[in-house]
A and B are shown apart, each in its own frame.
Chain A
Amino acid sequence: MALSIEDVKKIAHLARIEISEDEAAATLTKLTGILGLIEQMQAVNTEGIVPMSHSQDLVQRLRDDVVTKTNQREAFQGIAPVLGNGSTERAVDGGLYLVPKVIE
């Protein structure tokens, strides 16, 4: 399953990482090397083996339906990113986070 430069660009888009033509070419070389390493797995017969997602056989714990967290909006919004596009303010307003308009 050889990777192409178009694949790299597609993956980068899925991962929401901007990538230039030059970066895509350099990344292709490195990813191809890593996928070559990973490819060793294909030689193993794994028919009938139950996939192991976790080392401990755990079930999700349940807890009582009671309030355990206090409101920390101010503390959490105090570390919001800087808005950008010329503004040095934090990207918050009236208790909400500011992002570019997504609905017309």
Chain B
Amino acid sequence: MINSSLKTLSQMLAKKEISSVELAQAFLNRIDAFNPEINAYIALDQDKTLAQAKAADARIAAGNAEPLTGIPIAQKDIFCANGWKTTCSSKMLENFVAPYDAHVISRFDAAGAVNLGKTNMDEFAMGSSNETSYFGGVKNPWDFTRVPGGSSGGSAAAVAARLCAAATGTDTGGSIRQPASLCGFTGLKPTYGVVSRYGMIAFASSLDQAGPMAKSAEDCALMMNVMAGFDERDSTSLNREKEDYTRDLNKPLQGLRIGLPKEYFAEGLDANVAKVVMDAVTEYKKLGAEIVDISLPNTGLSIPVYYVLAPAEASSNLSRYDGVRYGYRTPEYTDLMDMYCKTRAEGFGEEVKRRILIGTYVLSAGYYDAYYLKAQQIRRLIAQDFEEAFKHCDVIMGPAAPSTAFKAGEKVDDPVAMYLEDLYTIAVNLAGLPGMSIPAGFSNSLPVGLQIIGNYFDEARMLNVAHQYQQVTDWHTRMPEGLA
């Protein structure tokens, strides 16, 4: 059951082979057994979860169930959920109980899904290993000495260890795709603007985007049907016609043009990862795809550009944490300035402070043109690279991360090395394109992800491309031994 697809679970619920309460309890029991070690969840509320499951059972009995009614979902702790502690894994919000629901949360509620709990993450989503969390690191279910990736590390471990049926994540520079690669499951970052950011705690607003993290492309498509859609409360939410993301899953791939960017296979990529990715590409050739060599010449610049723009936006977004209206306030202070400075020094962790300082610096008088404006200009060059590439191919493929999961502590003292983790994912956020990572095999018993990048609003086609691969391979069905 823990390995069943969302569709299968939905059918079992419809046929009354299992109740939603039993399903939620089964996952809660697994969480009890494994979470103390893995640390994927940082907030659980059994009563709330089971109450939702009970309501779902009533809805199923009444005959008005939707595809995700009664399905237990883990929510990244970046989404405000009314009455739930919502911390963004920061001391700053340690005791913050959200007074309202994020759009994503209300969509899952309306669909009758069951909230299993809130998952661990890098503090304010700033990190690639989940090690910046105030609530401690998360263990990679495939190897407890390694990181799950980040920032959606808790959701990633929860999906990989089958501590939920599926989970949500957010991706500002790779935070869904890199953990999907390191933990071996399917994760999708949609086109910017497809999923509302309302109630999703802001990091870098022009890049942040929520998406599904699940066992298969089909499961991600069902999640997208719930998550996507216009929301007037997010000023960048796109008002588009409603889509069924499952509509193209079964289309054949004959004639699909796959672009392979030479920059994604250059120096910096682990040789074993490269081999797994190329084996997956070979599988696609068997499915009828054509391979096109392409170039994304400004790939290397995406990291410098991102580490100007994301901290700049973060320094502005995080100025709201002043200790006045909610969150942490320092216990001892003399005047207002002292209160602000101590509150923020004590409430934020090292990486968050570092990024606020970088952002403050690049936006300060005298440096704005040299850093912020320059980065925005190069951002356009990066977006134009993709525009040019998509004239010659339908999807782009490559690695999602340069290596498999690394050891906990290995990069924690070297921010620049940590930042390079996102070499293949960041450009997609800068351009606002959709990207996903799917399991493509293993290197030394650790999962390797294949990244699929699509053109704007091509999520349904990308899910089709991923689903067809998952019909002829079984990488996505593997789970870590010892967690069964």
Q: Which residues in A have some Cβ–Cβ distance to B below 8 Å?
A: 1, 3, 7-8, 11-19, 27, 30-31, 33-42, 44, 46, 49-56, 58, 60-61, 63, 72, 75-76, 78-85, 91, 97, 99-102
Contacts and interface: CB of A to CB of B under 8 A. Distances in A.
Contacts of A3: 361
Interface string B324-335: 111111111111
Interface of B: 96-97, 99, 192-193, 206, 232, 235-236, 238, 300-301, 303-305, 307-308, 315, 319, 322-342, 344-345, 348, 353-354, 356-358, 360-362, 364, 367, 370-371, 373-381, 383, 414-416, 419, 430-433
11 contacts: A17-B344, A17-B348, A33-B414, A41-B371, A46-B374, A46-B381, A51-B379, A51-B380, A54-B206, A58-B236, A100-B339
B371 A102 contact: no
Contacts of A100: 333-336, 338-339
B341 A34 contact: no
B323 A15 contact: no
B335 A54 contact: no
Given A38-B371, A61-B232, 15 more contacts: A7-B361, A12-B357, A14-B364, A17-B344, A38-B307, A41-B305, A52-B379, A55-B432, A56-B192, A79-B99, A81-B323, A81-B324, A84-B332, A99-B324, A100-B338
Given A49-B381, A91-B329, A42 B354 contact: no
B415 A49 contact: no
A76 to B, nearest CB: 6
Given A41-B305, A41-B374, A97-B325, A55 B383 contact: yes
Contact of B331 (A13, A56, A85, A101): A85
A33 to B, nearest CB: 5
A18 to B, nearest CB: 4
Most B-side CB within 10 Å, residue of A11, A34, A51, A53: A34
Contacts of B433: 55
A84 B381 contact: no
Contacts of A19: 345
Contacts of A58: 193, 235-236
Contact of A37 (B236, B303, B344): B303
A76 B326 CA distance: 8
Given A16-B322, A55-B383, A82 B341 contact: no
Given A17-B356, A34-B358, A76-B99, A85 B376 contact: no
A43 B124 CA distance: 32
A70 to B, nearest CB: 11
A7 to B, nearest CB: 8
Nearest to A47: B377
B324 A41 contact: no
B364 A11 contact: yes
Contacts of B345: 17-19
B301 A85 contact: no
A11 B376 contact: no
Contacts of B308: 38, 41
B307 A34 contact: yes
Given A18-B345, A41-B305, A79-B96, A27 B354 contact: yes
A34 to B, nearest CB: 6
A8 B356 CA distance: 12
B373 A34 contact: no
A38 B327 contact: no
A94 to B, nearest CB: 15
Contacts of A18: 341-342, 344-345
Contacts of B336: 99-100, 102
Most B-side CB within 10 Å, residue of A3, A39, A55: A55
